């Protein structure tokens, strides 16, 4: 009986020791995942569940321990607790190994947690710095893009303005070139015609008038057409054409002379001094000019020697025409001299007076009005002189035969052609 009791006590002691060892293993097993969960920052709900499981396990262990001590029965757990313990053990087996390695390390859990917190803060600061640098880089890139676009727009605008200025400059150069070419052509035509343009102010002003320039252009065209008709007449005379053909050409030449008289009358209304000065003629022709043209009497003297033989009636008719033309020319010349003398007296008879006096101003204005009225008669003298020249040519054709009239027109043209050639040679002479 004594041996049985002793065995029973030993058995109970072994059971208690076994249960204590198991309880300690369970407690260690359960506490390690809890600390790992706290260290990794798990949710509160999971901690509560683990804490409940731990509490229940401890309570059950205490109850089983008490029962085992009293009844000498082996320690057992409910099925649901065993299931929960198994799941916890399965889910945290890896954490158990890590905690064991952490415990074997010389560092503590607290230092590990601090290091992790520092690492997390460092990583967070790095992320914030990277984000800030990225935002600043983006803002700098945007600002740089805006500056680049603005600079490109300014460059395009400057290039456009430069192209416009270049285009306007090229157009101006082209216009200047055309004007220079036109002036060169006019100067060349004037040199061919022997026209001499003086550099004096009054004559330059008269040449700049629209009427004078228009008349010069028209006279150049008239002279070109006149030379063509004369060449046609010369060819007809040399080929011994019939009187009918010659008569037609002579009428055309005579009508063409009427055109120049008409043009001179129109130009005289615009600028009578230009026509009277003979600036539309060559210098040699101007030496023999009389009231804006040639002297009819001088041409008739020239023709008498060129048209021989003449009948007595023709010679008498030419002499009478020359005499009447001379008388008309003398009368017009006396009228021009009287006009010049009267004009000079009108300008010289101004009574001197104090400067700015009303009487002196009135006298000056009246004096200028009288002078302007007298100058107005110049157009009349020019018109009468052209009428005399026109009538002389018509009377000459009536006196002469058709073939003689053709020879007379050719002689008159040769005379003026030699005068123009003499002017060209004079202007082109070598100057020392």
Q: For residue 338, what pLDDT is reported?
A: 93
Q: For residue 128, what pLDDT is reported?
A: 60
Q: Annotate 103-116 with b (16+ C-beta within 10 A) or e (fewer).
A: eeeeeeeeeeeeee
Is the residue at 288 inside a domain?
A: yes
Q: For residue 66, what pLDDT is reported?
A: 45
Nearest to 69 by CA among 15, 26, 20: 15
Is the residue at 323 inside a domain?
A: yes
Is the residue at 274 inside a domain?
A: yes
Q: For residue 194, what pLDDT is reported?
A: 45
* Residue 256 domain boundaries: 213-350+362-431
Is the residue at 123 inside a domain?
A: no
Nearest to 192 by CA among 181, 200, 184: 184
Is the residue at 5 inside a domain?
A: no
Is the residue at 9 inside a domain?
A: no
Is the residue at 393 inside a domain?
A: yes
Q: For residue 119, what pLDDT is reported?
A: 65
Total domain count, the chain: 1
CB 97 within 8 A of CB 29: no
Q: For residue 293, what pLDDT is reported?
A: 92
Is the residue at 342 inside a domain?
A: yes
Q: Could you list the mean pLDDT of each consecutive 10-residue stretch along the chain, which spans 432 residues?
A: 67 76 76 53 44 45 44 44 44 42 42 57 62 63 82 91 86 76 66 44 43 88 94 94 92 94 91 90 91 91 84 92 94 93 84 53 81 88 94 93 93 92 87 72
Q: For residue 135, what pLDDT is reported?
A: 63
């Amino acid at each position: 009986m004594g041996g049985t009791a002793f065995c029973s006590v030993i058995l109970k002691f072994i059971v208690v020791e076994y249960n204590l060892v198991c309880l300690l293993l369970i407690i260690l097993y359960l506490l390690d995942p809890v600390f790992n969960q706290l260290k990794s920052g798990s949710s509160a709900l999971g901690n509560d569940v683990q804490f409940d499981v731990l509490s229940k396990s401890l309570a059950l262990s205490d109850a089983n321990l008490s029962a085992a001590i009293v009844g000498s029965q082996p320690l057992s757990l409910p099925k649901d607790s065993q299931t929960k313990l198994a799941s916890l053990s399965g889910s945290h087996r890896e954490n158990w190994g890590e905690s064991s390695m952490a415990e074997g390390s010389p560092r503590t859990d607290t230092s590990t947690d601090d290091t992790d917190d520092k690492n997390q803060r460092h990583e967070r600061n790095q992320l914030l710095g990277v984000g800030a640098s990225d935002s600043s880089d983006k803002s700098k890139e945007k600002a740089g893009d805006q500056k680049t676009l603005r600079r490109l727009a300014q460059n395009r605008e400057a290039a456009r303005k430069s192209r416009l200025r270049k285009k306007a400059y090229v157009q101006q150069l082209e216009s200047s070139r055309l004007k220079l070419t036109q002036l060169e052509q006019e100067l060349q035509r004037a040199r061919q015609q022997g026209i001499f343009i003086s550099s004096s102010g009054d004559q330059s002003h008269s040449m700049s008038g629209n009427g004078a320039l228009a008349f010069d252009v028209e006279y150049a065209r008239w002279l070109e057409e006149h030379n063509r008709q004369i060449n046609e007449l010369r060819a007809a005379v040399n080929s011994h054409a019939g009187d009918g053909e010659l008569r037609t050409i002579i009428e055309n030449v005579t009508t063409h002379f009427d055109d120049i008289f008409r043009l001179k009358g129109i130009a005289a209304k615009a600028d009578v001094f230009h026509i009277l000065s003979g600036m539309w003629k060559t210098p040699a022709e101007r030496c023999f000019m009389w009231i804006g043209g040639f002297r009819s009497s001088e041409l008739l003297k020239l023709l008498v020697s060129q048209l021989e033989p003449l009948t007595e009636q023709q010679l008498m008719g030419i002499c009478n025409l020359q005499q009447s033309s001379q008388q008309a020319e003398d009368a017009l010349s006396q009228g021009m001299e009287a006009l010049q003398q009267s004009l000079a007296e009108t300008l010289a008879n101004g009574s001197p007076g104090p400067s700015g006096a009303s009487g002196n101003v009135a006298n000056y204005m009246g004096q200028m009005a009288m002078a302007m009225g007298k100058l107005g008669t110049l157009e009349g003298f020019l018109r009468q002189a052209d009428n005399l020249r026109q009538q002389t040519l018509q009377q000459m054709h009536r006196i002469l035969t058709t073939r003689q009239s053709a020879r007379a027109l050719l002689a008159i043209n040769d005379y003026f052609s030699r005068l123009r050639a003499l002017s060209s040679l004079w202007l082109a002479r070598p100057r020392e």
